[in-house]
Structure 1
Amino acid sequence: ALTCEAPCDFSEKHKQSPKEKRRSSVKSGKRKIIAHNVSPHMRAESDGRRHVCKDCGKSFGYLSDFTIHMRTHTRKKPFCCQECDKSFSLKCNLKTHMRTHTGEKPFTCKECDKSFCHAAQLKTHLRTHTGEKPFNCQECDKTFNQLSNLKSHMLTHTGEKPFVCQECDKSFSRISHLNSHMTTHTGEKPFGCKECDKSFCDLSRYRRHVRIHSAEKPFSCKECDKSFYQLSNLKRHMKNKTKAKPSLEKKCQSLVKI
């Protein structure tokens, strides 16, 4: 059996199973295990060679891992998309990218009928059902279901606006805000309503408009049974409620005095 000289937690896993023995081969007078289920840690040691990166000092037991790592320094992207001009350092990334062309969405939510191109997108989406918000702001008490949303939120504390318009001197904290702003220069309205002939420059306005046709009112008041298709309408409603409360209290007090 192959033994590990280094002290580690893989001692039991290093023991060669009958299946591994059958799949071993003789090379240069030495037995070399080729079974895929041997731990990566053990295979790296049994290889006997380390491939060390001269740029950062990281070492790898396999030439394939070392080659992939080197692309982070050379920025080499050998896997090219035949549909567009994008290229990737890993074949798996190209495969994932191809779904944007084919429209394939293999990751489906079990709670609703939505499906996604990437597993990470499904994982993020599931938080809308569970209500999980694992990303906390250290400056205030706000929490977010996506790391990208937390990063965008942090800019409100720092005041940083890294996304600058090339047509004018305006800058924005979010790239989505910059993209919306750019339509004021181009006049482009890419989001067209299928129910009527209206079109919109940004996705949020388009979604807000679509609710008029669908009669969807996702913003509900917790104080009464009213619901609204815009968040701004709900906020206005809540503001009117808080204004109405003091006047009701005054009326009650006057009735008590009488």
Structure 2
Amino acid sequence: MASTNNVQMLDDVTKNEKNGSHMQSDREDKHYMWTHSGQKTYKCEECSRQFSKLCNLKMHLRTHTGEKPYRCEECCRQFSRQGDLKTHMRTHTGEKPYRCEECSTQFTQLSHLKSHMRTHTSEKPYRCEECRKQFSRQDYLKTHMRTHTGEQPYRCEECSRQFTQLSTLKTHMRTHTGEKPYKCEECSRQFSKLGDLKRHIRTHTGEKPYRCEECSRQFSKLDTLKTHMQTHTNEKPYNCEECSRQFSQLGDLKCHMRIHTGEKSYRCEECSRQFSKLGNLKRHIRTHTGEKPYRCEECSRQFTQLGNLKSHMRTHTGEKLYKCEECSRQFIKLGDLKRHIRTHTGEKPYKCEECSRQFSDVGNLRKHMRTHARENL
């Protein structure tokens, strides 16, 4: 009897082993079908997207429900996926496990490393169907597409202006908050944009990375080079309706229009003087602060305006840019040339209020005024 039972048990084990083998085989077959055949048996009822695994469908459903079960213990941010939480934690730990073999830069995410690698390979796999422009990252392509669609998904809560990029909105918000996170190490001036700081630093270093192909002049700002290029093309597309003067830049036309309207939108908080141009206000403010951000490398003299520094530098170089058409005399400063020209024209624009004598130079008028001051003693 015992022998019969043992035989039955052995038969049952063998049968179970066979069944288990069949179940394992079924699982392997299903895995192969799901991952290799592309079969997607799990469907989202909300948007009809299909998935090969149930767990992927469950994670996807959180995009509809808003469920975020994974929470950061450091800052309480919540995430819909555990992998996203793990990646986020590296912002607290500083861990950067992904390293570029070319330049040793390290990254918190593998996707960031892959994108970075394209800066070495110049690979641009994402192409715009509208204009065929190519991009190294998919998010760059998405942002670019808004130039075709006109979409501006980021809106300022303060003034309702809309932007195509989140970074542009963040920068714009500083115009409301007054935040200036970028500071110059040389003169402690602060800026709301990193680009503005970089351009400002060139006033200290003298770096001029933008060069004119026509005359080889170099500039510290790209927009200054673009403006300069119009001196070669003589292009002036902006026309004043009042006096028909033409300008190469829209900003110059707008500033010019204030001559006709008398508008002075920029006001000094110290003395209430008003100015038609922001640049003029900034220069004026230095008369109150005493700030002289432009320094001569030769003799260490400092100046409130870049133009004054440039003029001063010619006293060291001996360069004389301004030439008299009458006698070919050359001058370091434009003001000196203008005064000299009056010796040819006989013009005397400065008049004494006491005796009506006229002078070609304001300095000579001042000297003359002292003769009246002595007479009145």
TM-score range, shorter chain: 0.5 to 0.7
Identical-pair percentage: 47
CA distance in 2, matches of 1:140, 1:41: 42
Structure showing the higher helix proportion among its residues: 2
Residue 39 of structure 1: SS of its match in structure 2? helix
TM-score, normalization: structure 1? Answer: 0.63
C-alpha distance after superposition, 1:173-231 (max 9, x if no partner): 11111111011111223456689965521243133235567765321133555533224
| Match of residue 82, structure 2, among 35, 38, 62 | 38
Using the TM superposition, give the Cα deviation of residue 123 of structure 1 relative to its aligned residue in structure 2, in angstroms.
1.2
CA distance in 2, matches of 1:210, 1:32: 67
Count, aligned residues: 208
CA distance in 1, matches of 2:284, 2:108: 64
C-alpha distance after superposition, 1:5-60 (max 9, x if no partner): xxxxxxxxxxxxxxxxxxxxx969xx9975461134759xxxxxx98765456789
- Is 1:122 aligned to residue 166 of structure 2? no
Aligned AA (2:83): S
Q: How does 1:9-158 map to 2 (within 5 A)?
A: 35=59, 37-40=81-84, 54-56=101-103, 67-158=114-205
Aligned AA (2:148): H
CA distance in 2, matches of 1:126, 1:61: 28
TM-score, normalization: structure 2? Answer: 0.45
Greater shift, 201-210 or 33-42, is seen at 33-42
Structure 1 counterpart of 2:231: 184
User: Gaps (5+ residues) in structure 1?
Assistant: 1-25, 44-49, 242-258
- Is 1:175 aligned to residue 219 of structure 2? no
Structure 1 counterpart of 2:356: none
Compute the RMSD of aligned alpha carbons. 4.0
Q: How does 1:160-239 map to 2 (within 5 A)?
A: 160-191=207-238, 199-209=246-256, 211=258, 216-231=263-278, 234=281
CA distance in 1, matches of 2:283, 2:118: 54
C-alpha distance after superposition, 1:62-118 (max 9, x if no partner): 976664343232111122223335310112111111222333322222222422221
Using the TM superposition, give the Cα deviation of residue 235 of structure 1 relative to its aligned residue in structure 2, in angstroms.
7.2
Greater shift, 65-74 or 131-140, is seen at 65-74
Residue 82 of structure 2: SS of its match in structure 1? coil
Aligned AA (1:175): L
CA distance in 1, matches of 2:244, 2:130: 31
Structure 2 counterpart of 1:247: none
Q: 1:225 to 1:70 in 2, by over 3 A?
A: closer
C-alpha distance after superposition, 1:220-250 (max 9, x if no partner): 1335555332246657988999xxxxxxxxx
Answer with 1 or 2: which has the greater Rg: 2
Using the TM superposition, give the Cα deviation of residue 158 of structure 1 relative to its aligned residue in structure 2, in angstroms.
0.8
User: Gaps (5+ residues) in structure 2?
Assistant: 1-29, 33-52, 60-79, 88-96, 289-377
Q: 1:59 to 1:139 in 2, by over 3 A?
A: closer
Using the TM superposition, give the Cα deviation of residue 140 of structure 1 relative to its aligned residue in structure 2, in angstroms.
0.6
